A and B are shown apart, each in its own frame.
Chain A
Amino acid sequence: MTMRQDRPSCFQDIILRLQSYWAAQGCAIMQPYDMEVGAGTFHPATTLRSLGARAWAAAYVQPSRRPTDGRYGENPNRLQHYYQYQVLIKPSPPNLQALYLGSLDAIGIDMNLHDIRFVEDDWESPTLGAWGLGWEVWCDGMEVSQFTYFQQVGGHDCHPVSGELTYGLERLAMYVLGVDHVMEMPFNDPDAAIALSYGDVFRQTEEEYARWNFDVANTETLLHHFEDAEKECHNILEQPHVDPKTGKRIIMAHPAYDQCIKASHMFNLLDARGVISVTERQAYIGRVRALAKQCADAFVLTEAGGHAL
């Protein structure tokens, strides 16, 4: 473990350091998934790739949206759009904890001065039909990451097991940079000719989305989108495995999963609009989970899902 005493200067510096650290550990540095998701776990590079026997190692930033967390950019650490940094390695290497600690060191957290703790926290995603065991990682009493060994995804047992690391980037960066309000955090180099704060980049969008999420989004339209996505997901998965045009075996797990992601996000938006009652809530979650499960069923029949092995 190399000791880096130089401290990062801004939000993107932390992202860049994580990228190069995990690249150096042999991860494929992927790009964010080009759809609206609630967390980095939804990226197919995690959800689908954690299934099946093929080895996998990926790291990426994922913009994540949680409509209910919107606070018009006023809350010091709550946002409806934020970034997660996600690492997934399958099978989980025996030194994953040490690798993780190396990443904290890489972003300027000095292990000799801070108190790092692994505190029990079991992870469960009812919408993905997934669960795992692990910890939330504390640095001086603050949760800086989620560390999970996936046991089941989409209703399938994970064999081998993936190790998943999730960093809440804004919170971690605010801590490392010593910033109290997220909007005041330097986004790029504060000494740059055009220095931008997080607020310069996102304050306005937080306001716009908060208004839309809470008060404007047309719930009827959203409901149609949900149902359309659900239908299309079924439609995709009902197709014969062999494509009649090319004669190839093409199981469309990823396009189907896109529809599952879409349905999940529509549900989150409906939830933020406050039109889903407590009992209905469970039913919606169950419908998304059913889609996730069917996508997982399909993925394990594909080559990437380990079928040929």
Chain B
Amino acid sequence: MPDLLIELFSEEIPARMQARAADDFKKRMTDGLVEAGLTYQGAAAFVTPRRLTLTVQGLLSASPTLREERKGPRVDAPEKAIEGFLRGAGVSRDQLEQRDEKKGAVFYALIEKSGRPAPAIVSEVLGQVIRGFPWPKSMRWGAGTLRWVRPLQSILCLLSDEAGAEVVPFEIEGIVAADQTFGHRFMAPDPITVSGFDAYQSQLKRAYVMVDAAERRAMIWNEATIQAFALGLEVIEDPGLLTEVAGLVEWPVVLMGLIDPEFMDLPGEVLKTSMKEHQKFFSVRNPKTGKIERFITVANRETADQGETILAGNQKVLSARLADAKFFWENDLRVARGEGLSAWTEALSTVTFHNKLGSEQARIDRIVTLARYLAPVAAADVDLAGQAARVAKADLSSEMVYEFPELQGVMGRYYATAAGLPASVAEACEVHYAPLGPSDQVPTAPVAVAVALADKLDKLTGFWAIDEKPTGSKDPFALRRAALGVIRLLLENRLSCGLKAVFAQGYDGADADDLLGFFHDRLKVYLRDQGIRHDVIDACIAMAGNDDLTLLSKRAAAVSDFVKTDDGENLLQAFKRANNILDQAEAKDGVEYSYGADVKYAEAEVERALFAALDAEAGAIEAAVLAEDFVAALSGMAGLRTPLDDFFEAVQINDNNAVIRRNRLNLLSRIRGICLSVADFTKVEG
């Protein structure tokens, strides 16, 4: 069984697209082969900046011959029907067979699709895969019409077995497949003739190309950490950067350089961001001082001077970059110390937040109002919360954030501190954007929490008011993330507040019920991840006070735990039974049985026992509900399970005696009422 090797050799593929491209190439190629009848034993794809490589082992040498029998019309059917059948089956009249069946003689067509040799199939599938490749962005070049991520330059396509290797006849846009590839662009540019994947990989390695991105990544990381370790330093981990850098080189050479001491006093975040964004350098830190002192750059070649020229060049570029950063930092500090942050917040009046929602400054005014309103909820000082909200976005006007938008917040803290603002205000400047995702850390300091909530709630009420809600996969303003942020801020800090009243403090004109519904949907997603079923949440959303998400989730957690217990499950069944009986009786009789049951009409012992149990538990349950202690309320309800089960077991509700029947229905109504005081159990499934 032959092995297949394909290499699509092109001009430099963007690093961010490489991993996905390798996966797509493997999946689409092997799917196509299997669909055409060529099964295989194993496959793997590799990618470098200049090549996309696929190896498939143990491929069938030809697709199997397929025989199909198709039943046709009766022999005496009209001529047109028979002709139609022949066309559909793709056979001629003399290939038909007659068979006698119960209803008479019937035509059968025997269709045989002969297998096709692997090269023909590979060639066909490869053409389809190349033409339909899902690059995030593709282009044309020269005078051609083919699209690829960057110009495609050559194709290697081989089928090989013990007998040798054979080029698969294939041609696309004038590029004819061959058994050749090329080594490193500068270190070994000559053509290399290849006979199979193992040889390909080792020949390329001799030609300064590491085909496997995982190997390049590992090599870079090992070498970087070893070099840093030798000097008692540590490389700051950055898996995203590592993957990107491994996608920029075929032959990684790790070089470590010094940061000019004149820049070492820049904030670490600035050094790191500048080096990463502009130069794709790793930061190397001194664990004793916590300062970033060196950088790691990864070159794509070896040189006679051991990288000296390359390192000197990189160092020089870095110094120019850091000189810019230092210039911004010093200018910003001068403003923050001299004029305070108000100079920057005023400048935000000319920056549009959204054309229907006004300027950034108008937005800040609203956030201040919300933050002051929310301060008591978060146990924050009202004035500090207002002050923090006022300056939280000031750094957007700073030169540093203009240059590095990803440093928003971080710089705010530095500048607020420089302006002599209280530490809690400075902290709020940094963390009020958080949490940015389901795993991002949630602020806990009261002032920061108030501003973080205000920031998100302004955004949500604003976009709700102008009807720019998320739809389907579209959420351009990240409103789902904002709502999840509010949920996590409230729940993880155990803060109680009625959201509808908060919405009323936000942007004017948001549909509060609709927005609350959006929060409930997000809350379901959040609680589902914690193992709480959607029907349990629905049962709790149906209760009063459902705009207090902390209360709601506390209730949901208690109910969720309860229905998982034996008592809970049984009580739920008993509740449903009681509810059904009541619903039917009330519908039939046209009355509501809420008059109040009286123990003096109780006939059976179990009935009296139920009355006793109710009398014993009702007060405690009611008190627990009032105190929002749902666990206690539910454990009280659990005490009703046995008497209720016994009651249903022994007693006929619809007694012939109308008084007894009415009394029992009223008794059920009382039980229903108690259950419904905790959650709407009619909505709980099971």
Contact = CB atoms under 8 A, between A and B. Distances in A.
Contacts of A161: 139-143
A94 B16 contact: no
Contact of B300 (A117, A132, A133): A117
A274 to B, nearest CB: 10
B222 interface: no
B186 interface: yes
A277 B347 CA distance: 12
Interface stretch (A30-38, A134-142, A254-262): A134-142
A113 B142 contact: no
A120 B313 contact: no
A205 interface: no
Interface string A139-181: 1111000000101000000111101000000000001000000
Given A94-B151, A133-B137, A114 B11 contact: no
Contacts of B150: 133-134, 149
B304 interface: yes
Interface size for chain B: under 10, 10 to 19, 20 to 34, or 35 or more residues? Answer: 35 or more
Contacts of B143: 91, 159-161
B141 A278 contact: no
A116 B186 contact: yes
B482 to A, nearest CB: 23
B299 A279 contact: no
A76 B316 CA distance: 13
A113 to B, nearest CB: 4
B186 A118 contact: no
B167 interface: no
B12 A118 contact: yes
Contacts of A175: 313
Given A76-B320, A149-B139, A118 B11 contact: yes
Contacts of B305: 113
A232 B654 CA distance: 94
B142 A120 contact: no
B303 interface: yes
B310 A120 contact: no
Given A94-B151, A149-B141, A140 B186 contact: no
Interface string B299-312: 11101110001101
Contacts of B317: 140-142
Contacts of A118: 11-12, 49
B12 A112 contact: no
B309 A113 contact: yes
Interface stretch (B350-358, B545-553, B635-643): B350-358
B25 to A, nearest CB: 19
A219 to B, nearest CB: 16
B314 interface: yes
A139 B313 contact: yes
A159 B309 CA distance: 41
A92 B314 contact: no
A160 to B, nearest CB: 4
**What's the dominant secondary structure at chain B's contact region?**
loop
B279 interface: yes
Interface size for chain A: under 10, 10 to 19, 20 to 34, or 35 or more residues? Answer: 35 or more
A97 interface: yes
Interface string B135-148: 00101111110000
Contact of A151 (B139, B142, B300, B313): B139
A149 B316 CA distance: 30
Nearest to A143: B317
A91 B144 CA distance: 9
A111 B141 contact: no
A229 B162 CA distance: 73
Contacts of B249: 117
Interface in B269-306: 279, 297, 299-301, 303-305
A75 to B, nearest CB: 9
Interface in A276-291: 277-279
A16 to B, nearest CB: 24
Interface string A207-228: 0000000000000000000000
A303 interface: no
Nearest to B299: A115
A252 B297 CA distance: 52
Nearest to B350: A277
Interface string A116-138: 11111010000000001111000
Contact of A114 (B141, B309, B351): B309
Contacts of B312: 140
Nearest to B323: A76
B151 A140 contact: no
Given A113-B303, A141-B279, A161-B139, A135 B313 contact: no
A115 B257 CA distance: 15
B457 interface: no
B318 interface: yes
B282 to A, nearest CB: 13
A151 B350 contact: no
Contacts of B110: none
B137 A122 contact: yes
Contacts of A76: 320
Interface string B181-192: 000001000000
Contacts of B355: 279
A265 B11 CA distance: 35
A69 to B, nearest CB: 13
B527 interface: no
Contacts of A122: 137
B15 interface: yes
A78 to B, nearest CB: 10
Nearest to A278: B352
A159 B139 CA distance: 12
B304 A113 contact: yes
B11 A97 contact: yes
B140 A112 contact: no
Interface of B: 11-12, 14-16, 49, 137, 139-144, 149-151, 153, 186, 248-249, 279, 297, 299-301, 303-305, 309-310, 312-314, 316-318, 320, 350-352, 355
21 contacts: A76-B320, A91-B142, A91-B143, A112-B186, A113-B309, A114-B310, A117-B248, A118-B49, A119-B12, A119-B15, A120-B14, A122-B137, A134-B150, A140-B309, A140-B317, A141-B279, A149-B140, A159-B143, A161-B143, A277-B350, A278-B352
> What are the 3 closest A-B residue pairs judged by CB atoms, nearest first?
A140-B313, A120-B14, A160-B143
Given A91-B143, A112-B303, A120-B16, 12 more contacts: A76-B320, A113-B303, A113-B304, A115-B310, A116-B186, A117-B249, A117-B300, A142-B317, A158-B140, A159-B140, A161-B143, A277-B350
